[in-house]
Amino acid sequence: SYVLTQPPSVSVAPGQTARITCGGDNIGSKSVHWYRQKPGQAPVLVVYDDSDRPSGIPERLSGSNSGNTATLTISRVEAGDEADYYCQVWDSSDHVVFGGGTELTVL
Amino acid sequence: QVQLQQSGPGLVKPSQTLSLTCAISGDSVSSNSAAWNWIRQSPSRGLEWLGRTYYRSKWYSDYAASVKSRITVTPDTSKNHFSLQLNSVTPEDTAVYYCVRGVPNFLTGDPLGKFDSWGQGTLVTVSS
Contacts of A35 in chain B (CB under 8 A): 115
Mean pLDDT, residues A21-32: 96
Contact A48 B116 (CB under 8 A): yes
Query: B26 burial class (0-12, 13-18, 19+ CB within 10 angstroms)?
Result: exposed
Contact B65 A94 (CB under 8 A): yes
Contact B112 A95 (CB under 8 A): yes
Contact A90 B110 (CB under 8 A): yes
Mean pLDDT, residues B4-29: 98
Q: Check if A53 contacts B (Cβ < 8 Å).
A: no
Phi, psi of B93 (to 5 degrees): -85, 0
Mean pLDDT, residues A61-88: 98
Q: Check if B74 contacts A (Cβ < 8 Å).
A: no
d(CA B34, CA A40): 26
Task: Give pLDDT, residue B47.
Answer: 98
The pairing of beta strand B95-105 with beta strand B35-42 = antiparallel
Query: Which residue, A78, A75, A44, A42, is CA-closest to A59?
Result: A75
Does A94 score more than 80 pLDDT?
no
Taking the CA of residue B86 and the nearest CA in chain A, the distance in Å comes to 19
Contact B111 A90 (CB under 8 A): yes
Residue spans of beta strands (DSSP E) within B1-128: 3-7, 11-12, 18-25, 35-42, 46-55, 59-63, 71-76, 81-86, 95-105, 110-118, 122-126
Does B110 score more than 90 pLDDT?
no
Taking the CA of residue A26 and the nearest CA in chain B, the distance in Å comes to 15
What confidence tens digit (pLDDT) does each residue in A39-61 have? Answer: 999 999 999 999 999 999 999 99
How confident is the prediction for chain A on average, in pLDDT? 96
What confidence tens digit (pLDDT) does each residue in B29-68 have? Answer: 999 999 999 999 999 999 999 999 999 999 999 999 999 9
Contact A94 B116 (CB under 8 A): no
* Cβ partners under 8 Å of residue B58, min gap 6: none
Closest residue in B to A100 (Cα) is: B46
Task: Give pLDDT, residue A16.
Answer: 97
Q: Check if A24 contacts B (Cβ < 8 Å).
A: no
Mean pLDDT, residues A80-87: 98
The minimal CB distance from B46 to the residues A49, A90, A100 is found for A100
Contact A33 B114 (CB under 8 A): yes
Percentage with pLDDT > 90 across chain B: 92
CB A10 within 8 A of CB A18: yes
Contacts of B113 in chain A (CB under 8 A): 31, 48, 90
Q: End-to-end distance of chain A based on CA atoms, in angstroms?
A: 36
Does A93 score more than 90 pLDDT?
no
